[in-house]
């Protein structure tokens, strides 16, 4: 085995060693985002919301899909970010980029502190604790009316132009491009983490935590780092939506938001990086359409859609695509 140092990796491992390289299909979401900007100029506000929410779902995918940390409290970080950016903008500091940085720092800190306590547990216990963290923050925001506006929501945000030049316009053009740019940075970060040795070790933790301990992995530290990064990204997502909507409500910290982002990710496909893009887009467009066509019962249709996904499309849309591809490759 000593001679191994001089060996080049055999050709069969080329694919394995190169899987981090960008593939052509990965340009697709961005080309579509670009096309949507020109094709649907009336829907750019919705588009900006979708882009920001994709970042939220992407942050969830990092912990749930890769590290196998189940959570129903990810809105805790989304809301922390939203309120951080919102409170800054409502109190005389409306500079958006530094607002994002502050939101990331605050949400990351909440993720680190709560994670240090709750990540000792797993499974249902952990699920309950993530719920509790989000519920506590929500109640805090509800009670601190003088800072957060309480149940009425945070009013009077004044967000300055980006780089002092690009004003947030009524049509959502600036918001759309702003959200797309921030999402792209977040996506690059998550993507590089996923393909890094750290990211692979998260996958190992998801697949078999007992063995990860046995190969000497500092499992708890790994999970905490992933959780903190994910929280910071969720915080940026919350800040994006706060800045573009110029409003933050208690819903930003609510259980419904945690649950909805989970559903969106499941629809798209968990642990596959692009599930967030597909799931959020499908869900939010469906929500927009259904609520226009059938304003009273639109949630029923969403529910029906969800049941369909769970029964027929396990692994989400990406799982469906993968199975179809395998079918086609198989000679009939």
Binding site for another protein (CB under 8 A): 1, 3-5, 7-10, 12-13, 15-21, 192-193, 195-201, 203-204, 207-208, 210-219, 222, 225
- Residue 140 CB, nearest distance to another protein (Å)? 31
Got the DSSP string for 222-277?
HHHHHHHHHHHHHHHHHHHHHHHHT-B-GGGGSHHHHHHHHHHHHHH-TTSSSHHH
| Cβ closest to another protein, residue 10 vs residue 123 | 10
Unique residue bearing structure tokens 């970042």: 55
- Residue 155 CB, nearest distance to another protein (Å)? 39
Of 168, 45, 187, residue with least CA distance to 99: 168
Q: What's CA 138's distance to the chain center, in Å?
A: 19
- Residue 100 CB, nearest distance to another protein (Å)? 20
- Residue 225 CB, nearest distance to another protein (Å)? 8
Got the DSSP string for 83-132?
HHHHHHHHTT---HHHHHHHHHHHHHHHHHHHHHHHTTS-HHHHHHHHHH
Q: Which helix or strand (DSSP H or E) is residue 284 part of?
A: helix 275-293
| Cβ closest to another protein, residue 225 vs residue 286 | 225
CA separation for the pair 181, 203 (Å, rounded): 28
| Cβ closest to another protein, residue 70 vs residue 193 | 193
| Cβ closest to another protein, residue 47 vs residue 68 | 68
- Residue 9 CB, nearest distance to another protein (Å)? 5
| Cβ closest to another protein, residue 145 vs residue 196 | 196
Angle between helices 173-195 and 28-39 (to 10 degrees): 170
Contacts 24+ apart (CB under 8 A), 257-260: 257/75, 257/78, 257/79, 258/71, 258/72, 258/73, 258/74, 258/75, 258/76, 258/130, 258/131, 258/134, 259/72
- Residue 7 CB, nearest distance to another protein (Å)? 6
CA separation for the pair 114, 116 (Å, rounded): 5
| Cβ closest to another protein, residue 143 vs residue 213 | 213
- Residue 50 CB, nearest distance to another protein (Å)? 27
Q: What's CA 64's distance to the chain center, in Å?
A: 10
- Residue 186 CB, nearest distance to another protein (Å)? 14
| Cβ closest to another protein, residue 125 vs residue 196 | 196
| Cβ closest to another protein, residue 93 vs residue 198 | 198
């Amino acid at each position: 085995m000593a001679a191994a140092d001089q060996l080049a990796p055999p050709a069969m491992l080329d694919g394995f060693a190169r899987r981090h390289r960008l593939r052509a299909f990965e340009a697709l979401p961005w080309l579509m985002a670009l096309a949507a900007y020109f094709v649907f100029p009336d829907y750019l506000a919705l588009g900006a919301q979708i882009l920001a929410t994709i970042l939220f779902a992407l942050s969830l995918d990092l912990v749930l899909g890769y590290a196998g940390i189940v959570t129903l409290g990810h809105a805790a970080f989304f809301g922390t970010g939203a309120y951080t950016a919102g409170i800054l903008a409502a109190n005389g500091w409306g500079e958006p980029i530094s607002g994002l940085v502050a939101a990331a720092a605050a949400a990351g800190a909440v993720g680190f502190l709560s994670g240090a306590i709750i990540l000792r547990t797993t499974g249902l216990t952990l699920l309950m604790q993530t719920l509790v963290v989000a519920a506590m923050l929500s109640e805090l925001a509800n009670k601190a009316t003088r800072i957060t506006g309480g149940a009425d929501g945070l009013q009077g945000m004044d967000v300055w132009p980006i780089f002092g030049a690009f004003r947030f316009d009524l049509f959502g053009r600036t918001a759309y491009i702003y959200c797309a740019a921030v999402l792209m940075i977040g996506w690059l970060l998550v993507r590089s983490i996923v393909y890094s040795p750290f990211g692979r070790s998260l996958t190992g933790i998801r697949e078999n935590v007992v063995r990860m301990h046995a190969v000497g992995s500092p499992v708890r530290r790994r999970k905490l780092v992933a959780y903190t990064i994910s929280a910071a990204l969720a915080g940026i997502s919350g800040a994006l939506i706060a800045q573009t909507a110029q409003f933050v409500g208690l819903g930003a910290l609510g259980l419904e938001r945690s649950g909805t982002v989970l559903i969106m990710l499941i629809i798209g496909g968990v642990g596959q990086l692009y599930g967030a893009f597909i799931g959020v887009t499908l869900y939010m467009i469906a929500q927009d359409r259904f609520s226009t066509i059938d304003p009273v019962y639109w949630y029923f249709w969403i529910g029906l859609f969800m049941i369909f996904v769970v029964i027929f499309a396990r692994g989400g849309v990406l799982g469906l695509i993968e199975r179809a591809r395998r079918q086609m490759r198989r000679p009939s």
